[in-house]
């Protein structure tokens, strides 16, 4: 049976798909979103059970390869020191993230002008400002306005408590004369828009049973669905189809029963993240687009940026917050901007980490060799458990074409769709940045009195931020989408996720991804009469 065409078809119900769906809903167009995962059930979230920590090593792993749910697709990341992590469901990876909520700085949009590297974005920070603000209201942020080294934000809720860990970090940073500030987060610190306030379940990353951590299944989606957007779950898109004029005509997808379907559409919006989006475009080859859809530049899949994380942690004598609080609480922008005397260009943001639960502490410390087998195990464990203090640097990854997503010639998902393959190396500049960060982290930890210092650099399963693989620009030879998110090659095809980032900045990108999605939706609404010109 032929389906009626929809006005707008959105692929992916995660951070950006939800935002663009909600924003476009006011047009009263027929909007359909296809999502390969389903709705989440908070009653099944790990923190509701005594085995909450063990689940993070299996069915609630951040790695789709380890998790292996039917909703997930495999990723061949053997050729990358950083492994891809994500989540596939309504809410996407906002279901499984730390809720740390910085945004790109104004300088991040002009790195070529300022530092002579990579490229400037075709838009600037000011163009996104109203959408950052709108997104913060929709997602519900908490924080303390007035950070002198961060863009001005107006979180509607107060910052998280400093806690024991935050106080130790703050004192150490003050001794060293370095910048720190309570993080903006999407953890509700008061009741907010139907969400209950945070009660410090601690295990925030693999989903929040309280609903205090913002994820788009509980923020944008209820509003979008009420406004008439249709969300079809367990629907995995295989390819985008085109006609003889090079316009997108719809998508081929597999429904919840695994049956192939065709859904026609007048406009297609991709919101599948920096790995899923190039995978879909490369899987949408045709005679007219033999190298993949929207790929006349040859840049689809190239310039993958991950943010290599340099992590260092140690153990202080005082108790820390352990697992009894959201994992992140403070940030530092002390090393965010370029200072060439450090030996590298650009910089990194820092997020401080409060601690870990007992199982995680035991497992990781045993692997690191600081928790012995045998009689001394108990004494050492009591010294470590509840005393961990951590520092993670989010290093700006500059775009390099050899870091890329391609299609694996063998690996396929459960529907037989070719899986993505990652080829990625850490650049010399990033490595110097990571080394610098570890040295500063060590100074901080030692100032706080920490011992038994350990590092993970990069964090191997740290590929949370998937950016740059369908970059934005005004030159069709050097970019995949234009300055308002429309692909240069297909005039009714848009991309709104992290793949359109030109550069990565040194902060978690979700806030900026969603602001971009809202900005693109706004641009589309302003151009409805001549959207395809």
Binding mask 71-110 for another protein (x = CB under 8 A): ----------------------------------xxx-xx
Q: Cα(first)–Cα(last) distance of the chain, in Å?
A: 32
Q: Is 337 exposed, middle or buried (0-12, 13-18, 19+ CB in 10 A)?
A: middle
Measured CA angle at 224 (ends 514, 131), to 5 deg: 30
- Give residue for tokens 């053997």: 78
From the CB of 18, what's the least distance to another protein, in Å? 24
Provide DSSP, 20-42: HHHHHHTTT--EEEE-SS----G
Q: For residues 27 and 200, which CB has a smaller minimum distance to another protein in the complex?
A: 200
Give the one residue of 16, 62, 150, 492 binding another protein; rule: CB under 8 A: 150
Bridge partners, residue 187, by sequence? 213
Exposed e or buried b for every residue in 80-111, given b needs 16+ CB within 10 A? Answer: bbbbbbbbbbbbbbbbbbbbbbbbbbebbbbb
From the CB of 215, what's the least distance to another protein, in Å? Answer: 16
Sequence-ordered list of residues with C-beta below 8 angstroms from that of 338, at least 6 positions apart, any chain = 114, 115, 345, 346, 347
- What mask, x for binding another protein by CB under 8 A, covers residues 268 to 307? ----------------------------------------
474 sits near another protein (criterion: CB under 8 A): no
Residue from 163, 276, 292, 463 binding another protein (CB under 8 A): 163
Q: Is 151 in the site for another protein (CB under 8 A)?
A: yes
Residue 491 CB, nearest approach to another protein (Å) = 31
DSSP 341-409: GGSSSS-EEEEEE----HHHHHHHHHHHT-S-SSTTHHHHHHHHTT-EEEEEEEEPPPP-TTSEEEEEE
- Measured CA to CA, the distance from residue 224 to residue 35 in angstroms comes to 14
Coil vs helix vs strand at 133: helix
At 324, list the tokens.
């009894």
Q: Which of 367, 409, 474, 532 binds another protein (CB under 8 A)?
A: 367
**Cross-strand partners of 487:** 481
Which residue in 167, 227, 252, 370 binds another protein (CB under 8 A)? 167
Quick one: which of 12, 64, 166, 349 contacts another protein (CB under 8 A)? Answer: 166
Shortest reach from residue 385's CB to another protein, in Å: 7
* Cβ-proximal residues to 456 (8 Å cutoff; 6+ apart), any chain: 309, 311, 312, 462
Contact between 368 and another protein by CB under 8 A: the answer reads no
Whose Cβ is closer to another protein: residue 181's or residue 253's?
181
* Closest listed residue to residue 407, CA positions, set 238, 236, 262, 234: 238
- Residue 106 or 298: the one with the smaller Cβ distance to another protein is 106
* Of 54-62, 286-294, 482-490, 505-513: span binding another protein (CB under 8 A): 54-62
| Closer residue to another protein (CB): 274 or 326 | 326
Give pairs for 50-57: CB < 8 Å, separation 24+: 52/203, 52/357, 53/203, 53/323, 53/357, 53/358, 53/359, 53/360, 54/359, 55/206, 56/203, 56/205, 56/206, 56/360, 57/363
Instruction: Give yes or no for residue 47 binding another protein (CB under 8 A).
Output: yes
Binding track over 301-330 against another protein, x by CB under 8 A: --------------------x-xxx-----
Q: For residue 258, state whether it binds another protein (rule: CB under 8 A).
A: no
Rounded Cα–Cα distance for residues 19 and 221 (Å): 8
Among 36, 40, 53, 119, binds another protein (CB under 8 A): 53
Asked if residues 210 and 202 have their Cβ atoms less than 8 Å apart, the reply is no
Looking at residues 408 to 467 of the shown chain, list those that interact with another protein (rule: CB under 8 A).
none
Q: How far is the CB of 162 from another protein (least distance, A)?
A: 3
# residues contacting another protein (CB under 8 A)? 69
- To the nearest whole angstrom, how small is the minimum distance from the Cβ of residue 161 to another protein? 4
Q: How far is CA 441 from the centre of its chain?
A: 23
What are 251's strand-pairing partners? 240, 263
Q: Does 342 bind another protein (CB under 8 A)?
A: no
State which residue, 240 or 316, has the beta carbon closest to another protein: 316
At its nearest, how many Å lie between another protein and the CB of residue 199?
3
Answer for the pair 507, 103: CB distance below 8 angstroms, yes or no. Answer: yes
Centroid of chain to Cα 492: 26
Nearer to another protein, 50 or 529 (CB): 50
Shorter beta-carbon distance to another protein: residue 45 or 254: 45
Name which of residues 178 to 217 contact another protein (CB under 8 A).
179-182, 198-203, 209-210
Among the residues of 104-219, which ranges form H helices? 111-115, 125-139, 163-176
* Cα dihedral 89, 350, 193, 127 sign: negative
Task: Give the chain's radius of gyration (CA, Å).
Answer: 22
Residue 256 touching another protein (CB under 8 A)? no
C-alpha span between 299 and 303 (Å, rounded): 8
**Contact pick of 225, 252, 362, 453 for another protein (by CB under 8 A):** 362
- Least distance (Å) between residue 484 CB and another protein: 20
Task: Indicate whether 177 belongs to the interface with another protein (CB under 8 A).
Answer: yes
Smaller CB separation from another protein, 364 or 531: 364
The residues binding another protein (CB under 8 A) are 45, 47-54, 57-59, 105-107, 109-110, 113-114, 120, 124, 144, 146, 148-151, 160-164, 166-167, 170-171, 173-174, 177, 179-182, 198-203, 209-210, 321, 323-325, 337, 358-359, 362-363, 366-367, 373-375, 377-378, 382, 385
């Amino acid at each position: 049976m032929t389906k009626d065409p929809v006005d707008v078809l959105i692929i992916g119900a995660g951070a950006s798909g939800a935002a663009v769906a909600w924003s476009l809903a006011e047009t009263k167009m027929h909007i359909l979103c296809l999502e390969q995962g389903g709705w989440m059930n908070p009653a099944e979230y790990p923190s509701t059970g005594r085995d909450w920590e063990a689940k993070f090593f299996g069915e609630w792993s951040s790695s789709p390869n380890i998790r292996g749910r039917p909703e997930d697709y495999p990723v061949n990341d053997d050729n990358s020191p950083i492994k891809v992590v994500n989540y596939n469901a309504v809410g996407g990876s906002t279901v499984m993230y730390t809720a740390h909520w910085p945004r790109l700085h104004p300088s991040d949009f002009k790195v070529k002008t300022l530092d002579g590297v990579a490229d400037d974005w075709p838009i600037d920070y000011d163009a996104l400002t109203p959408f950052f603000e709108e997104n913060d209201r929709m997602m519900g942020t908490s924080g303390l306005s007035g950070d002198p080294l961060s863009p001005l934000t107006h979180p509607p809720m107060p910052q998280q408590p400093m806690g024991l860990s935050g106080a130790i970090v703050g004192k150490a940073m003050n001794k060293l004369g370095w910048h720190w500030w309570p993080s903006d987060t999407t953890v509700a610190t008061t009741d907010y828009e139907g969400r209950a306030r945070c009660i410090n379940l601690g295990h925030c990353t693999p989903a929040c049973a309280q609903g205090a951590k913002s994820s788009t299944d509980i923020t944008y989606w209820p509003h979008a669905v009420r406004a008439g957007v249709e969300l079809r779950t367990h629907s995995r898109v295989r390819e985008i189809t085109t006609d003889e004029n090079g316009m997108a005509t719809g998508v081929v997808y597999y429904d919840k029963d695994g049956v192939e379907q065709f859904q026609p559409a007048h406009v297609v919006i991709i919101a599948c993240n920096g790995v899923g989006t190039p995978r879909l475009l490369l899987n949408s080859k045709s005679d007219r687009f033999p190298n993949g859809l929207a790929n006349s530049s040859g840049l689809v899949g190239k310039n993958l940026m991950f943010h290599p994380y340099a992590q260092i942690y140690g153990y202080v004598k005082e108790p820390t917050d352990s697992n009894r609080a959201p994992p992140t609480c403070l940030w530092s922008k002390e090393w965010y901007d370029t200072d060439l005397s450090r030996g590298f260009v650009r910089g990194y943001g820092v997020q401080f980490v409060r601690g870990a639960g007992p199982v995680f502490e035991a497992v990781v410390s045993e692997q690191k060799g600081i928790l012995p087998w045998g009689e001394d195990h108990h004494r050492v464990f009591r010294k470590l458990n509840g005393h961990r203090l951590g520092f993670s640097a989010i290093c700006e990854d500059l775009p390099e074409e050899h870091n890329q997503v391609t299609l694996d010639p063998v690996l396929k998902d459960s529907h037989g769709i070719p899986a993505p393959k990652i080829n990625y190396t850490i650049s010399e500049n990033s490595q110097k940045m990571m080394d610098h960060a570890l040295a500063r982290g060590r100074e901080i930890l030692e100032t706080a009195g920490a011992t038994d210092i350990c590092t993970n650099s990069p964090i191997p399963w740290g590929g949370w931020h998937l950016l740059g693989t369908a970059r934005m620009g005004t030159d069709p030879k050097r970019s995949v989408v234009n300055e308002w998110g429309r692909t240069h090659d297909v005039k009714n095809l848009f991309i709104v996720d992290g793949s359109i980032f030109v550069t990565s900045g040194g902060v978690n990108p979700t806030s900026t991804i969603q602001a971009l999605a809202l900005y693109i939706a706004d641009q589309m609404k302003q151009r409805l009469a001549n959207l395809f010109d």
